[in-house]
Amino acid sequence: MTTDLPSGWVVDDTSAEEVARERAVYEPFTERLRRLVDLCIRSEVDLDAVLEAQAHVDAAIELLGRDTIEGSYGVRIGDGFGRNWGNAIMGLRNAIAPPLHIETDGVSRSWVDFELGAAYEGPPTFVHGGVLSLVLDHVFGAAAGADHTPHMTGTLTLVYKRATRLGVPLRAEAWVDRTEGRKSFVVGFVADEQGRTVEAEGIFVQPREWGQ
C-alpha cells in the first residue's frame, strides 16, 4: 500500500464489517432513490401530491446534508478492497447508475446483462444512444483492465446498427483484440435478443504512473 496514490484514491480505515454495514443501508436506499427518479418521470398524480412528495425529499436532503465529504466519492480503499461507490455507471451509492454488475474472465474479456428503464430514454421508447456509449465505455475499460491494470479511454468508435428498446434484456460484451505496449485494442457490442444494436472498437491506455 502506497501513500502517493493519484488524487481521489483514499486509503481509509474502514473495516470489512463497517463496509458491510454501510452497504446494507446504502444499497437499498439507493435502489429506492432510483425508483423515485423513475416515478418523477412517469408519475401522473396531481401536482399537490408532487408538492407533498417534495416536502419528503426536502426532509431527506436535510438529513443527508448534515455531514458530507467535499468533492466526489473517489475510490476508497479499506480492508484491501477499492470501493468506487460514486461511479456514474457502477456506483452502489449512485442513483444515476443502473448499476451495472460487470463480470470478467480475469484476463481480457468482460460482459454484463442489464436492462434500462424510462430514465435512460433518448428517442421516444428507445435507449439514448449516448447511454449505450457510456455502458460500452465502461465495459470496454473492464475488458482492458480485466487483469487488474487500470486503463483510461483513449479512443472509442461506435456504430449504431439500429435503435435499442427500453425495458428489454440487453447484453454488452467486450474483449481485448490485441495489445501494443500500454495500449489495449478492444472490440465489443450491445445486443438485444434479436442481435447486435451497437458495435464498437476502442483503444484503452494504461496510465504511465500505473505502468511497469
* Span 140-159, contacts to its own copies by CB under 8 A: 141, 150, 152-159
Q: What is the DSSP code (8-state) at residue 126?
A: B
In the complex with its own copies, which residue's Cβ is closer, 79 or 126?
Answer: 126
CB 133 within 8 A of CB 122: no
Distance CA 14, CA 151 (A): 26
Cis peptide before 98 (omega within 30 of 0): no
In the complex with its own copies, which residue's Cβ is closer, 141 or 188?
Answer: 141
Among 99, 104, 110, 138, binds its own copies (CB under 8 A): 138
Q: Select from 41-49, 107-115, 177-185, 187-195 the region that touches its own copies (CB under 8 A).
A: 41-49
Q: Which of 57, 197, 202 is nearest to 139 (CA)?
A: 202
Residue 19 sits in the site that holds its own copies (CB under 8 A) = no
Distance CA 135, CA 43 (A): 27
Strands 109-114 vs 195-205: parallel, antiparallel or unpaired? unpaired
Residue 107 sits in the site that holds its own copies (CB under 8 A) = no
Among 83, 95, 173, 191, binds its own copies (CB under 8 A): 95
Distance CA 40, CA 38 (A): 5
Q: What is the DSSP code (8-state) at residue 5?
A: P
Among 11, 14, 19, 75, binds its own copies (CB under 8 A): 75
Q: Which of 146, 161, 148, 149 is nearest to 191 (CA)?
A: 161
* Closest approach of its own copies to the CB of residue 76, in Å: 9
Residue 134 sits in the site that holds its own copies (CB under 8 A) = yes
Residue 121 sits in the site that holds its own copies (CB under 8 A) = yes
Residue 168 sits in the site that holds its own copies (CB under 8 A) = no
* Closest approach of its own copies to the CB of residue 70, in Å: 8
Among 19, 119, 187, 192, binds its own copies (CB under 8 A): 119
